[in-house]
């Protein structure tokens, strides 16, 4: 059992290093325990809806706990963790009413057993600001190819009506913020005047607890996008804007490459079941919940082709090559720079296939191993053998039925999407 607590007020006295519960202190000035460039009431963005303030706190606590509770084993032998969380919120009653549903939602997301306790704590007063003035839409911008595609095509669409959007980014790694800034600048260059604001939020757990003990380190986190969505909805709630969560439909459904890659090894933060269940929970508590994935029925290659159709092949190739899809950051340990992608993780393989499928040149810098250590690192991280086996095997009705697609989505449409996604991957020389 792992026990955590997110508090919005700092401790009056240092906690003992052997405290039973791991504490995270979310204040704008709480370094080094918890990094944040916005206060826990989110007043910097304006009058954020109270339940959306709460949802950001919940999501921040979930991610911090997810990163601090180590798993054991590998692949299908990964353990299901029991994680208990106590979270300071503005109002306890609404969240207690959906507690069981929210715990199940988190279990679907991470493959763990979650237990949530809510405690009323408003936190210190904050200066009220404003953001996204004049925007008609909020769009999540992670720095990845799909979010960049969504933000660019959204900007082009809004430009035709003289309207603007607000881009919302979340970062924890110092390498990510410059990438997000660069992609946002490219969007503004191509669709000038369409960016009303680019909000870059940092909310992340530090390295050491208040008692001095180091937090755990778990790299398999599947809850990262939960905080991203929560922040996007919080910003969007100020002016009741729709929130775009751009992700290709094939990756959203994420057919597992093998039976051992089910559960927490398969990311589900844009899965149609997760999005539908999340919206129901948020609607029940009175939070802003207008979130949509406009590319739920497109493959990544088809999204790339849409960019090419909109701005031309040469410009699309340059724009998409600026983005980042690699899921591994450990290459730097083996002598590779931060701007070099591994080329063998699922994100990189799908990216490569999408460039090929759309007929665009890929200028991404992939790692070419120069020594035994780098070769061994790539061999340990690669999904290529599993991908070959997955593509060689048929994908039938039984496999389709296990994807937990909501009943209101036609399975025939999902089957077509999976077939097209697999065809794109087959055209890549694996």
Q: Let me know whether 229 and 342 are in one domain.
A: no
Rounded to 10 deg, the angle between the 145-159 and 313-322 helix axes is 130
Closest alpha carbon to 45 in 203, 175, 186: 203
Same domain, 154 and 271: yes
206 and 288 share a domain? yes
The percent of residues in the chain predicted with pLDDT above 70, rounded, is 92
Is 300 within a domain?
no
Q: Average pLDDT in the 225-252 region?
A: 97
Q: What is the pLDDT of residue 333?
A: 63
Task: Note whether 31 and 92 are same-domain residues.
Answer: yes
CA angle 413, 266, 137 (to 5 degrees): 65
Burial of 407: CB neighbours in 10 Å, binned 0-12, 13-18, 19+: exposed
In this prediction, residues 90-103 reach a mean pLDDT of 98
HSE, side-chain direction, 13 A CA sphere, residue 163 = 14
Classify the C-alpha dihedral 261-267-273-278 as positive or negative: positive
- Could you give the number of structural domains in the chain? 3
Domain shared by 105 and 207, yes or no: no
Q: For position 145, which CATH number holds?
A: 3.40.50.620
- 297 within domain boundaries: no
Pairwise pLDDT comparison (378 vs 267), residue with the higher score: 378
Domain-embedded: residue 310: no
Reported as a single tens digit per residue, the pLDDT across 119-174 is 999 998 999 998 888 999 999 999 999 999 999 999 999 999 999 999 999 998 88
Is 37 inside any structural domain?
A: yes
Domain span at 210: 135-214+221-292
Residue 162 neighbours by CB under 8 Å, 6+ apart: none
CA–CA distance, 105 with 109 (Å, rounded to integer): 6
Residues 257 and 331 in one domain: no
Pair (352, 235) in one structural domain = no
260 has a pLDDT exceeding 60: no
3-state secondary structure of 6: strand
Pairing of strands 195-201, 164-170: parallel
pLDDT digit string, tens, across residues 11-47: 666 665 556 788 888 888 767 788 999 999 999 999 9
Tell me, yes or no, whether 28 lies in a domain: yes
Tell me the pLDDT of the chain averaged across its residues: 90
Q: Whole-angstrom Cα distance, residue 233 to residue 242?
A: 8
230-244, 265-279, 380-394: least confident range: 265-279
Write down the pLDDT at residue 21: 82
Closest CA to 235 of 159, 129, 102, 91: 129
Same domain (yes/no): 270, 389: no
């Amino acid at each position: 059992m792992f026990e955590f607590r997110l508090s919005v007020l700092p401790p009056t006295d240092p906690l003992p290093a052997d405290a039973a519960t791991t504490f995270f202190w979310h204040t704008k000035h709480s370094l080094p325990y918890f990094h944040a460039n916005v206060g826990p009431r989110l007043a910097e963005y304006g009058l954020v809806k109270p339940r959306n303030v709460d949802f950001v706190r919940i999501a921040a606590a979930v991610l911090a706990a997810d990163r601090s509770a180590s798993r054991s084993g590998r692949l299908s032998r990964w353990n299901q963790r029991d994680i208990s969380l106590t979270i300071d919120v503005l109002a306890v009653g609404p969240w207690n009413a959906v507690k069981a549903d929210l715990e199940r939602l988190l279990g679907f997301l991470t493959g763990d057993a979650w237990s949530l306790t809510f405690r009323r704590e408003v936190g210190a007063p904050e200066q009220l600001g404003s953001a996204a003035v004049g925007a008609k839409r909020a769009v999540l911008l992670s720095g990845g190819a799909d979010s960049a595609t969504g933000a660019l095509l959204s900007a082009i669409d809004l430009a035709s009506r003289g309207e603007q959007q607000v881009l919302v980014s979340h970062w924890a790694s110092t390498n990510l913020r410059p990438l997000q800034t660069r992609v946002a600048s490219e969007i503004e260059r191509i669709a000038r005047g369409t960016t009303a604001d680019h909000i870059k939020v940092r909310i992340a757990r530090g390295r050491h607890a208040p008692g001095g003990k180091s937090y755990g380190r778990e790299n398999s986190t599947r809850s990262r996008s939960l905080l991203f969505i929560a922040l996007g909805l919080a910003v969007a709630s100020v002016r009741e804007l729709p929130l775009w969560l751009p992700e290709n439909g094939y990756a959203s459904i994420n057919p597992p490459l093998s039976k051992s890659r089910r559960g927490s090894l398969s990311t589900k933060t844009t899965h149609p079941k997760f999005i539908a269940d999340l919206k129901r929970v948020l609607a029940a508590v009175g939070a802003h919940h207008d979130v949509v994935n406009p590319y739920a029925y497109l493959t990544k290659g088809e999204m790339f082709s849409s960019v090419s159709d909109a701005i031309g092949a040469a410009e699309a190739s340059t724009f998409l090559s600026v983005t980042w899809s690699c899921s591994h950051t450990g290459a730097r340990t083996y002598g590779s720079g931060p701007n070099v992608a591994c080329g063998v993780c699922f994100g990189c393989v799908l990216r490569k296939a999408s460039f090929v499928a759309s007929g665009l040149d890929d200028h991404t810098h992939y790692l070419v191993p120069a020594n035994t250590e780098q070769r061994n690192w790539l061999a340990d991280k690669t999904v290529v053998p599993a991908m070959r086996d997955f593509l060689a095997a048929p994908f039938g009705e039984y496999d389709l039925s296990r994807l937990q697609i909501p009943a209101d989505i036609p399975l025939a449409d999902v089957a077509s999407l999976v077939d097209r996604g697999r065809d794109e991957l087959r055209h890549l020389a694996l």
